[in-house]
Amino acid sequence: MEVLKNYLNHENYRKLFDIDNPKLHRFVAEYLKLCDPAKVFICTDGKKDINYIREAAIKNGEEESLTLPGQTFHFDGYHDQARDKTHTKFLTPESLKEIRSILKNIMRGHELFVSFFCLGPSDSEFSIPCVQITDSPYVIHSENILYRTAYKNFKRLGKKNTDFFRFVHSGGKLNKHHVSQNIESRRIYIDTGEEIIYAVNTQYGGNSIGLKKLSLRLAIHRAAREGWLAEHMFVMGVRGPKQRKTYFTGAFPSMCGKTSTSMVTNESVLGDDIAYLRQKSGKVHAVNAEKGMFGIIRGINSKDNPIIWKTLHNPNEIIFSNILLTKDRQVYWVGKDVPRPTEGYNYSGEWVAGNKDKQGKEIQPSHPNARFTLDLAALENVDPNLDNPAGVEIGGIIYGGRDPDTSVPVEESFSWTHGIITKAASLESKTTSATLEETGIKKFNPMSNIDFLSIPLGQYVENNLNFGNSLKKPPLIFSVNYFLENKQGNFMNTKKDKAVWLKWMELRVHQEISAIKTPTGFIPRYEDLKKLFKEVLGREYHEQDYTEQFTLKIPENLAKIDRIIEIYKTEVSDTPEVLFRMLEEQKQRLIQARDKYGDYVLPNRVE
């Protein structure tokens, strides 16, 4: 209490102690004393406090206003543009000592903000309360858009609330461009025991917005103890015949179509990134842990993404990050269907077309990982069940990644176990610019969650298997592949084709169409897809295209199975034995098909 009285003025002291929670008070006091800020602001759910945060982000230079009301832009540092996998680690005694030494007096001269949020809908069995401490109003502003505020919930629960997640962040010293200066000391540490996240000397949202992927690590760890699932998944509603709506979740690595799938025209979106799944009355229900979208803006255009495009060009509270600001203060990003500017200002500073970096590579107008942050409520296709405390019943689960040469565009597994093992636990995808690593390399990424696991992979696979196998009728499991290439290296499908795959999956959930059984799963019949392409997209779907896209590639599938088995044998402890058995059975089915039909099997020959 002495520490809090020394740092808090009367109003902020009252706001904090209106919450009768000694654990919270000790947490705040500990990091006030360690970080030594110049002043402290306790943020409630009130509009006045939330507006104070927004204005503070503009005042300290982390954001600037744009022409449209509510819109701002933010730049991260040149070398702070993506998730830092190298320096994101689980806490050890040594790293705790290091992080505390970095945090020591790091906020001198800064204002510290304390804010309260809820992961999942409020007053729900899915809910996880959270407290964020940071000296970055940009971080709090982002979280106010992305998450449900929860000051009132903390007041109501009082000292009963003992299991909240805690987040400590500092951008550290900012340079003249108002970005983190000491990037060499960027650290992100995850303490699953105490359920605390530490992030310092970084501003990029994936590193600094603790409630995003960092909290997913904490949630996965908690879910493993409690028997539910925390997943890197969208949640969406797909409309079927007679106004039926079927809900799906889907796991895709970043920049692999996750947001664009959840935003398909004429369907409804509940979330594009993180889902919590629980069993309720013998069925799987899911919620969006968030209420907003931190989306990749590259490639967003009026033709392919009409709903997001419209939202981005109307007065809405939106933060654009790492885009190009033109001389007339317009926002431009790579892939925007307007004339490309020749000059402006971006994350690299003053930009002119043809600028090159130190390696001689041309600097694009916007960063490949440029983002937009908005509230889902601003979207015209937001699902009315977004804040339903019971969540929505899930009919199907989709797994997808960047796979140029192996998987067909859409396929259904034989069973829950077959799907978890061959679709989810065997997922591979080419890397993208969403992380600080070399791009274009096919990497093992089970459930699209490998970067965020806080429990052993073998245990995680086992948890997924047990979760669905305990149900009489679990959701169907599908795989999709939007990135299959022909021999010329061109994509075989258009961006809009995913709308057809969704409709086919919806019909399969309700057993309203049949499918072709192959050694790797069930694939669509040409007649069904031809009809759906006409109904959904208004265009012909030629049998030649179908044959090329759905040909079973046996050598590539066998090579993938061998890669996956080797990984689980040599790099994963406690792998469930059923995984090896299931993959071996699939391997034998493929070999038998090869012996009968050859290396490449046309879809009309495999049944």
The number of C-alpha atoms within 13 Å of 309 and in the hemisphere containing its C-beta is 14
Nearest Cα residue to 135 out of 103, 99, 182, 164: 103
Is the separation of the CB atoms in 240 and 437 below 8 Å?
no
CA angle 530, 535, 536 (to 5 degrees): 100
Cα(28)–Cα(10) distance, integer angstroms? 16
DSSP secondary structure letter of residue 422:
I
What is the H or E stretch that residue 546 is in? Answer: helix 543-550
- Sheet holding 318-321: strands in order across? 64-65, 71-74, 318-321, 371-375, 292-296
What is the H or E stretch that residue 349 is in? Answer: strand 349-352
Q: C-alpha distances in angstroms, 52 versus 168, 344, 446? A: 20, 30, 42
Question: Exposed, middle or buried: residue 276 (CB in 10 Å: 0-12, 13-18, 19+)?
Answer: buried
| Per-residue b or e along 67-90, where b marks 16 or more CB atoms closer than 10 Å to that residue's CB | eeeebbbbbbbbbbbbbbeebbee
Tell me, what amino acid is at 581?
R
Nearest Cα residue to 417 out of 562, 518, 521, 563: 521
Q: Which of 35, 43, 130, 256 is catalytic?
A: 256
Cα(565)–Cα(580) distance, integer angstroms? 7
Q: C-alpha distances in angstroms, 211 versus 156, 245, 359, 406, 422? A: 22, 30, 35, 35, 30
Say which residues have a Cβ less than 8 Å from residue 218's Cβ, sequence separation at least 6: 165, 190, 192, 195, 197, 454
Is the separation of the CB atoms in 220 and 274 below 8 Å?
no
Say which residues have a Cβ less than 8 Å from residue 527's Cβ, sequence separation at least 6: none
Nearest Cα residue to 307 out of 267, 251, 254, 334: 267
256 is catalytic: yes
DSSP secondary structure letter of residue 607:
-
Say which residues have a Cβ less than 8 Å from residue 53's Cβ, sequence separation at least 6: 41, 43, 113, 115, 137, 140, 141, 144
Sign of CA dihedral 510, 511, 515, 517: positive
Is the separation of the CB atoms in 372 and 319 below 8 Å?
yes
Tell me, what amino acid is at 9?
N
Cα(491)–Cα(545) distance, integer angstroms? 12
DSSP secondary structure letter of residue 300:
-
Catalytic residue list:
256
